[in-house]
Amino acid sequence: MFGADGRVYARGHGADATFGDLSGKTLNSPIVAGAFDVFGDGYYEVGADGGVFTFGNAQFYGSAGNLVLSRPMVGMAASPDGGGYWLVDGTGTVHPYGNAVIFPGPSIDASTTFVLGIVSTTDGNGYWVFDIFGNVYPYGDAATYPFSG
């Protein structure tokens, strides 16, 4: 688990195997999301301002820390091959780094919703973006699944 202060809280199998965190560091903005690299030997943290921090063997491919965002970053997903990652801000704008690319998909009306996060497909050829209302927006090869609740 990733704390807003950048601390990493290890739980479950291998709970003592952390690769470091931002404990005690002065951050420009709180940490809002994190992602594990595909190899299991590192992870990423992203701040609300788009700053990306890497730990272990996770590779740095860039950050949005220098961008002026209309809404803070809210989510992050690592590409399944370890070659990049996506960041998503509260408007639903996806920011790709490394070999992560933008995929076609639906428009999100940022005036009526707030995006909460992003999840990659297993093959990395798509992702799902989701909002506060439980809407899921598929991009690339991400499939749409019917609700059965």
Q: What is the pLDDT of residue 18?
A: 74
Angstrom CA distances, 62 to 31, 52, 111, stand at 16, 7, 28
* CB-based contacts of 28, cutoff 8 Å, min separation 6: 47, 49, 51, 65
CATH of 31-140, one of 2.60.120.560, 1.25.40.10, 2.130.10.10, 3.90.180.10: 2.130.10.10
**pLDDT per residue as tens digits for the range 6-61:** 777 666 555 455 787 788 888 899 999 999 888 888 999 999 999 999 999 999 99
User: Domain coordinates of the chain in residue numbers?
Assistant: 31-140
Q: What is the pLDDT of residue 79?
A: 95
Q: What is the pLDDT of residue 16?
A: 53
pTM, two decimals, is 0.89
